[in-house]
Structure 1
Amino acid sequence: MLASARPAVALDTLRSQFTGNLHAPDDAGYDDARMAWNLMADQRPVFVAEPRTADDIAAVVRFARQEGLRVAPQGTGHNAQARAGVDESILLNTRLMRGVEIDFEGRSARVEAGALCADLTAPASELGLAALAGSSPDVGLVGYTLGGGIGWLARAFGMCCNSVLSFDVVTGDGEQLHVDAEHHPELFWALRGGTGSPAVITHMELTLIAAPELYAGAMLWPWERASEVLHAWREWTLDAPETATTAARILQVPPFPDIPEVVRGRQFVVIDGAVIGSDAYANEVLAPLRALGPEIDMFAAAPPVALSHLHMDPEHPVPGIGDHALLSDVTAETIDTMIELAGHKSGSPLLAVELRQLGGALGRIAPGAGARSRIDAPYVFFAVGVPATPELAAAIPGALKQLKGALTPWVAPGAYLNFAESPTDVSTTFEDETFRELQAVKATYDPHNIIHANHEVQPAA
């Protein structure tokens, strides 16, 4: 292995064909380069490579195969806890590759491997265009898309993975390919929501949409009103139009100094999301929720870039311990169970306990869809805690297990991989035939299992 045999000679060989940065464990920049966005992931790779070009990525993959190592791609590391460990892998940190090119006439964008959602949504919004980006501005576009991609336009337009026009990739043998519906269509299919196991993405081309009128934001009530508000939201979702994508959550805002004083250190029940349509239309759609008299109401006409910020996700690395489940239904009993275990009388250590409505376009198979063609569940549950103290670190896992266990009567099969915060058996997240096809694609393009994805698909035997 490289860690114990001729590391200096081997790295010197790679440096001669690499334009980016290489960090061995003894180098000053190693600890910074190995860090994931989720600070709970203590990654200790054989070394870290920070490529600047697709040729750099190909050189690392070829080098890894030659040295008997694996390559673990990472854009940001939001989902790094899902990977079992990188002790015998090269961490391929793509943070130096954040270029974005927008084709206004063609309604598309080409992004590099390390581009963040905000790198695309901000300039696209200025041009009157929108991407099917996520609810956090600093999630990596590539990783988000490989896992499916659910944003605030999802019930109307579906998952981001099915808006992809093409990928440029490096396969497990270091070959560079352009992949689309006509070139390597089986790999194009697999990468759209089927994880990044078969190839490393160097560039991705996405469809953009002409930005519709948007009305977006959040309403907040003191968490003592969680029962009233969450029951009302559940009933409202039963008839909510597909133009509306919303989430409801119990939120304990940390007392961090960079958080606005009006909410800092307080506890709320929150409904946030977006409605596609005019102000008048959106006000009509949201009227039953607004009638509950929120203490804070931030819903207003908004440009597409605002969708990346309305969920108030942290925009810098933090430690987090989370879990999720797809739900076949949310009933009045579901709400009562959540409030009992995470509401104002529970003593819960969890930062946020969330329900997000799915359905609409997310529940239909998109024309020409990839491996993640739809999500066959009307809701998804997600909960997370921030282990800011040893006491919280000890309490959060048990609270997550208890809450998810209590929701068992409503848990649907499968998983949404972008919310899967721990190693997951990917075979349980796809139908059997789909998973066998993913394994076949992996065997074709990475038969030696060089690529170490967050959620791994093993090559077919």
Structure 2
Amino acid sequence: MTLQSQPVLTDVAREDTTDSASELAAMVEPVTIYLPGDAGYDSARTLWNTAVDLLPAAIAEPTTAAEVSAVVTASRQLGLKVAPVSTGHNAGPLVQHDLVSTVLVKLSAMTAVEVDPSIAMAKVQGGALWGDVIDAAGRHGLACLHGSSPDVGVGGYLLGGGIFLYGRRLGMATSSLTAVEIVLADGSLIRADHRQHPSLFWALRGGGGSFGIVTSFEFSLYPLETVHAGMMVWDIDDADRVVRAWAKWAHGAPDEITTSMRILNLPEAPDIPESVGGRPVVCMDGAVLGREDQADSILAPLRALSPRVDTFDQVPPSAIARLHMDPLGPTPVTGDTALLGRLTDEAVDAFLAEVGPGTEHALLSAELRQLGGALSRRNPDGGVLSRLDGSFLLFGVAIADTAENEARGHSDASRLVRTMSPWSTGRRYLNFAEEPVDVGDNYGEREWLTLTRVKSAYDPENLFAANHPVPLAHR
């Protein structure tokens, strides 16, 4: 079930759209524009998740904020919608839009990263990758609230919330945002922060890409020269005792530690550690923000489970960029997700019945990511999404390199989520939602109403097409 955008226009309307897209290229020169039939069109429309097949009216690759503004202005004048993307890790839901009349604006050429160590701040362009930020911050003994892979884009990650191995201590990554520069629907470039356009700034921190194209982000960094991090690995036959014990430990663990428990089925490959490749295993990775003696005390109950591999040690923050072993580079994937409450023994039974020893499934990873701590507390200075409604994040992901593998992987991931539905909070973490969903279900009623009003104020013609769109307010 390849996620493919479907043309829905009549022949006349499609011809008009083609003419408009051709006119766009002339209006925004020298911005690089690819049109259907151009030699570079197919390459340009290929995003990180190569299982997603988008067919936009045109693809723009601006290199500056001024060029982004020019593309937005011209697109609006020509009656074309605009869909901003960075890497395309979560591009699947874009298929819900009529992309035949949409310009895909790729920010992948806008990757500059600046770090000011005197105030522990970073300013990065909208297409920057977390790997570049990690390296730049690390040179000054600083760390950022990055994603689980160095090739994850800063933009989509922050606009959707942002969680990984510092989250239970330092909160949602989007709460560390201090300002953005954003191109609005009228083509103007503005700055939004706590004082300027505060309602827009609130909406951008967790509300996604429905409000404009963010050309730069400014956010706080943290003085972390080292962190106690690593992974523990057990044989798949140990899954019952390990996952059950971890679930009980995780509920009451101190905020200083954030972990992820996974059933992994990784192939043998040069970039995959031998301890986890080529066979099913149980793997827990995590990080402790504290002294080494504190880390040893916190990890003691997990070490008592006798892992056959234990790599936890005091390491520089850059060492955890690849700890989660997410696929690097363009990859065809499919998956499903849910937020869960407390994992009871019955919940662990259900989880293992789907992915534990002796089961057959196509999932590369079946993950239970530990939430709680600062991730469960509302940040009074944060945006619309400053906490997650759940104690654990469930995520099943599979490789979708063929139609058959995609169908089976999607089926297995969805079945896992359905099986765990008795323990679901009814919400999702949208950065992991690989298909169109009811976006409003994932916010409180008041927050959702406010988001729609901000959308109406800043994009009254609904120019911007986001992967998880916020609609205009009802009039």
- Does residue 361 of structure 1 match 2:374? yes
The aligned residue for residue 24 of structure 1 is 35
The aligned residue for residue 49 of structure 1 is 60
Q: Distance in 2 between matches of 1:304 and 1:38?
A: 27
Normalising by structure 1, what TM-score? 0.96
Report the residue type matching 1:290 in the other structure.
Answer: R
Are the equivalent residues in 1 in contact too, given 2:336–2:410 (CA < 8 A)? no
The aligned residue for residue 332 of structure 2 is 319
Normalising by structure 2, what TM-score? 0.93
Q: SS at 1:238's partner residue? A: helix
- Does residue 37 of structure 1 match 2:85? no
Report the residue type matching 1:284 in the other structure.
Answer: S
Residue 69 (structure 1) aligned to one of 80, 90, 111: 80
Residue 432 (structure 1) aligned to one of 445, 456, 460: 445
- Does residue 278 of structure 1 match 2:291? yes
1:74 shift after superposition: 0.6
Are the equivalent residues in 1 in contact too, given 2:90–2:467 (CA < 8 A)? yes
Aligned residues: 461
Q: Distance in 1 between matches of 2:465 and 2:401?
A: 30
The aligned residue for residue 220 of structure 2 is 207
Bigger drift between 2-11 and 166-175 goes to: 2-11
User: In structure 2, do the counterparts of structure 1 residues 359 and 261 end up closer, same or farther at CA, with 3 Å as the change threshold?
Assistant: closer
- Does residue 197 of structure 1 match 2:210? yes
Residues 405-424 of structure 1 aligned to structure 2 (within 5 Å): 405-424=418-437
Are the equivalent residues in 2 in contact too, given 1:2–1:46 (CA < 8 A)? no
1:428 shift after superposition: 0.5
Q: 1:161-185, CA deviations, whole angstroms, 9 ceiling, x for partnerless residues?
A: 1111101001112111111111111
Are the equivalent residues in 1 in contact too, given 2:182–2:191 (CA < 8 A)? yes
Q: SS at 1:28's partner residue? A: coil
Q: 1:83-142, CA deviations, whole angstroms, 9 ceiling, x for partnerless residues?
A: 224332111111000000111101101000100111101110121111111111111111
Q: 1:158-212, CA deviations, whole angstroms, 9 ceiling, x for partnerless residues?
A: 0011111101001112111111111111101100011111111011101111116
- Does residue 80 of structure 1 match 2:104? no
- Does residue 112 of structure 1 match 2:125? yes
User: In structure 2, do the counterparts of structure 1 residues 291 and 439 end up closer, same or farther at CA, with 3 Å as the change threshold?
Assistant: same
Residues 58-207 of structure 1 aligned to structure 2 (within 5 Å): 58-83=69-94, 84-85=96-97, 86-207=99-220
Residue 448 (structure 1) aligned to one of 461, 468, 471: 461
Q: 1:394-453, CA deviations, whole angstroms, 9 ceiling, x for partnerless residues?
A: 322222222111111100032211111110111101111111110011101111111111
1:347 shift after superposition: 0.7
Q: Distance in 2 between matches of 1:382 and 1:11?
A: 41
1:7 shift after superposition: 4.6
Q: SS at 2:84's partner residue? A: strand
Are the equivalent residues in 2 in contact too, given 1:212–1:277 (CA < 8 A)? no
Residues 369-408 of structure 1 aligned to structure 2 (within 5 Å): 369-408=382-421
The aligned residue for residue 342 of structure 1 is 355
- Does residue 220 of structure 1 match 2:236? no
Q: Distance in 2 between matches of 1:41 and 1:390?
A: 12
Q: SS at 1:156's partner residue? A: helix
Report the residue type matching 1:105 in the other structure.
Answer: S
Are the equivalent residues in 1 in contact too, given 2:339–2:428 (CA < 8 A)? yes
Report the residue type matching 2:396 in the other structure.
Answer: A
1:368 shift after superposition: 1.1
Report the residue type matching 1:207 in the other structure.
Answer: S
Are the equivalent residues in 2 in contact too, given 1:19–1:51 (CA < 8 A)? no
User: In structure 2, do the counterparts of structure 1 residues 10 and 147 end up closer, same or farther at CA, with 3 Å as the change threshold?
Assistant: closer
Q: CA RMSD in A?
A: 1.7
Q: Distance in 2 between matches of 1:362 and 1:248?
A: 17
Q: SS at 2:406's partner residue? A: helix
Q: Distance in 1 between matches of 2:319 and 2:364?
A: 23
Identity %: 42
1:15 shift after superposition: 4.2
1:261 shift after superposition: 4.0
Q: 1:6-64, CA deviations, whole angstroms, 9 ceiling, x for partnerless residues?
A: 85686455445444321111111111111111111101111110010011111111111
The aligned residue for residue 304 of structure 1 is 317
Are the equivalent residues in 1 in contact too, given 2:365–2:397 (CA < 8 A)? yes
Are the equivalent residues in 2 in contact too, given 1:43–1:87 (CA < 8 A)? no
Are the equivalent residues in 2 in contact too, given 1:14–1:63 (CA < 8 A)? no
Are the equivalent residues in 1 in contact too, given 2:45–2:55 (CA < 8 A)? yes
Are the equivalent residues in 2 in contact too, given 1:253–1:264 (CA < 8 A)? yes
Bigger drift between 242-251 and 408-417 goes to: 408-417
1:2 shift after superposition: 8.5
Q: Distance in 2 between matches of 1:392 and 1:13?
A: 38
1:258 shift after superposition: 4.2
**Structure 2 segments unaligned to the other structure (5+ residues):** 1-11
User: In structure 2, do the counterparts of structure 1 residues 387 and 12 end up closer, same or farther at CA, with 3 Å as the change threshold?
Assistant: closer
Q: Distance in 2 between matches of 1:153 and 1:403?
A: 27
Q: Distance in 2 between matches of 1:207 and 1:248?
A: 28
